[in-house]
Amino acid sequence: MSHTALDVLQDVFGYDSFRGKQYDVIQTLQQGGDALVLMPTGGGKSLCYQIPALLRPGTGIVVSPLIALMQDQVDALTELGVQAAYLNSTQDWQTVREVEREFLTGQLDLLYVAPERLLTDRCLNMLARGQISLFAIDEAHCVSQWGHDFRPEYLGLSLLAQRWPEVPRVALTATATAQTRAEIAQRLQLEQAEHYVSSFDRPNIFYRIVEKKEVRRQLLAFIQQEHAGDAGIVYCLSRNRVDETAAFLAEQGIHALPYHAGLDAAQRARNQTRFLREEGVVMVATIAFGMGVNKPDVRFVAHIDLPKSVEGYYQETGRAGRDGEPANAWLAYGLQDVVQLHRMISESAGDEMHRRNLAQQVDAMLALCETTSCRRQGLLAYFGQQIDACGHCDTCVEPPESWDGTIAAQKLLSAIFRLWRERGQRFGAGHLIDILQGKRTERVLSNQHETLSVFGVGSDLSDQMWRSVLRQLLAQNLIEVDSEGHRTLVLTETSRAVLKGERRLLLRRESSSGPAAHKVKSQRAQEPALEGEDLRCFEVLRSWRAQVAREQGVAAFVIFQNATLRAIAQQRPAQLSDLDGITGIGAHKRETYGQALLDCVAAFQKQNQDQLMPSAALE
Ligand code: ADP
Ligand code: ZN
């Protein structure tokens, strides 16, 4: 049996070294201390509790909010030869009894439990009769009442500290502003815990934000040109939009499935399982989908509506590329989104302060969209982290040009001002632009707006340009959406300085082809490229993996991750000892699948030779 953390990492998991703060967290827990771990998605949080659970006597209890996820975690551990099980509401009583027996007789290294389950008397009594090595509280931000994933059951977890003061506890999350972190520490009674905060940067994700035009066409082009056959997630704001978009993509031959809270539970579970198990499924979803989705090879996350906050956006995009390989975050947004979000806020429940808080979050998101500097800088600044321009986002790759928009802004602001002052009227974006451009629409004529002094003063700019100006004025808080929710635009405190010519405004110029369409696409080129024979060998291994996964009813990545298959395709091992040191092959997997892998490689080599023979004979 292994003795040090490094031994376990290598022998059981097949990895050669620790990442980031993993080792420090493991040490703390191994010595009986508590820890609060903030690591971005894909940072490797699981090992932080799995390894100490293997090293300490007793069973590690993992609190995890998602039932669908437990199964994959347990499958993956079982493949590694680790004794793991879960308890949740999907099991029949016989299975539950059996798992309980295994726990009580000390056979389990890890036991996953849903929080509501854990807090039942039956479960607490069972735990009291066995030996516990540690408690791991995954997705710990669920305890935060301000966050979007709040789960009331999580509040009950402070009980663990009281009942088992001597058992080390670790809380883990991929999302936390300083405020959320303080809340986690306080509510879970982890004030004494060591904090391990990693950089939140996800360097393998390429960030891109485009202007919304015909969004379904744009989305389709993005998927077809850059992600044909890839797994991805498309986020929409409403259930209707999810259904429409999924149907549209499916019609276009993309393997797309819907997911939202309006579907019945069975359908949701089925779609989620297909997303996890099959390759190349595109999940079109509301934000109800995703927390804890641990599929490592999601290659893109697309948003076709403006997310409500930067924190939510970062978390959603973080579901791409957990395996560390290149992935894309793509967002399309337009003026309409901003107006719609503000309307939703004004209609939402809660007091004025709550609504103001929500509106500020939208504004921060809008500012990120309209920024002329590095997107990643903007994102990470939101989490209190400073970085240099990243070189791996659309604004870094093709810095937007700027232009002096002072006069345009003055025209727009004064149109809003005059309508209100002279006529006591307020209007939305479309009508304001019509007035500026001097369009004699029915609405213009019936209101006699052609007699306004600002009528037609903006005919030099296109519709698209005016929309861009409007968005940027919103982003800079020089105008705002009327808080009564009529979708009309009003001036703010800060508008005056621009109107009076005391402040110059540099605006971002939208390129007509859509931001940087040519330069910033196809991040695939950067993937550790497999070519020719290696690529064909990889495909052979992949179909072998698909077959094994099907036979065992588990997700493909549970058998081996792409990185492992890629290494094999490149190295073409001929004997078992050649498998040593290939990432992701521990002792148990080598024993179970080593020979099959070698057979795959050998068969590929032979077929390759046979194909080469005739041409060799010609020489
Ligand atoms: P998180 O829960 O933080 O999102 P995971 O624990 O799922 O991340 O780990 C992400 C991926 O990285 C997994 O495929 C995992 O096996 C892999 N991984 C974790 N730690 C290491 C390591 N030290 N070396 C190599 N791969 C690792
Ligand atoms: Zn950048």
Query: What are the residues whose beta carbons fall under 8 Å from the beta carbon of 96, sequence distance 6 or more?
Result: 87
- Residue 92, in any domain of the structure: yes
Distance CA 577, CA 575 (A): 6
Contact 354, 325 (CB under 8 A): no
Identify the CA nearest to 322 among candidates 232, 230, 226, 204.
204
Q: Are residues 503 and 555 in the same domain?
A: no
Is residue 1 pLDDT above 50, yes or no? Answer: no
- Residue 616, in any domain of the structure: no
Identify the CA nearest to 254 among candidates 317, 307, 300.
300
Give the total number of structural domains in the chain.
Answer: 4
Identify the CA nearest to 205 among candidates 284, 107, 129, 314.
314
Ligand nearest to the CA of 21: 1
Q: Are residues 42 and 136 in the same domain?
A: yes
Ligand 1 pocket, residue 65 CB under 6 Å: no
Q: Are residues 384 and 406 in the same domain?
A: no
- Residue 319, in any domain of the structure: yes
Distance CA 307, CA 260 (A): 16
- For the stretch 229-285, pLDDT in tens is 999 999 999 999 999 999 999 999 999 999 999 999 899 989 998 998 888 999 999
Ligand 1 atom at minimal distance to the Cα of residue 22: 23
0.85 surpassed by pTM: no
Q: What is the CATH number of the domain that holds 556?
A: 1.10.150.80
- Residue 210, in any domain of the structure: yes
Last residue of a domain, one of 397, 414, 434: 397
- What's the token pair of residue 374? 């590095």
Distance CA 504, CA 434 (A): 25
pLDDT confidence of residue 345: 85
Q: Are residues 133 and 242 in the same domain?
A: no
Q: Are residues 278 and 308 in the same domain?
A: yes
Ligand 1 pocket, residue 12 CB under 6 Å: no
For residue 570, count CB atoms less than 10 angstroms from its CB and return exposed for 0-12, middle for 13-18, buried for 19 or more: middle
User: Angle 381-382-387 (CA atoms, 0-180°, nearest 5)?
Assistant: 20
Last residue of a domain, one of 165, 197, 229: 197
What domain range is 595 assigned to? 532-610
Q: What is the CATH number of the domain that holds 110?
A: 3.40.50.300
Is residue 514 pLDDT above 50, yes or no? Answer: no
Query: What are the residues whose beta carbons fall under 8 Å from the beta carbon of 240, sequence distance 6 or more?
Result: none
Stretch 470-482: mean pLDDT, rounded? 87
Q: Are residues 214 and 186 in the same domain?
A: no
Is residue 578 pLDDT above 70, yes or no? Answer: yes
- Residue 33, in any domain of the structure: yes
- Residue 52, in any domain of the structure: yes
Last residue of a domain, one of 328, 362, 397: 397
Ligand 1 pocket, residue 584 CB under 6 Å: no
Distance CA 423, CA 487 (A): 18
DSSP 3-state percent helix, strand, coil across the chain (nearest 5): 50, 15, 35
Q: Are residues 133 and 148 in the same domain?
A: yes
Q: Are residues 168 and 229 in the same domain?
A: no
- Residue 521, in any domain of the structure: no
Residue written as token pair 């994700």? 205
Q: Are residues 148 and 93 in the same domain?
A: yes
Ligand 1 atom at minimal distance to the Cα of residue 45: 3
Q: Are residues 289 and 215 in the same domain?
A: yes
For residue 10, report the distance from its CA to the centre of ligand 1, in Å.
13
pLDDT confidence of residue 228: 93
Mutate which of 25, 46, 295 for ligand 1 pocket (most atoms within 8 A of beta carbon): 46
Atom 27 of ligand 1 has which residue's CA nearest to it?
Answer: 44
Q: Are residues 426 and 336 in the same domain?
A: no
Is residue 439 pLDDT above 80, yes or no? Answer: yes
Is residue 527 pLDDT above 60, yes or no? Answer: no
Distance CA 283, CA 547 (A): 23
- Residue 567, in any domain of the structure: yes
Q: Are residues 180 and 267 in the same domain?
A: no
For residue 22, report the distance from its CA to the centre of ligand 1, in Å.
10
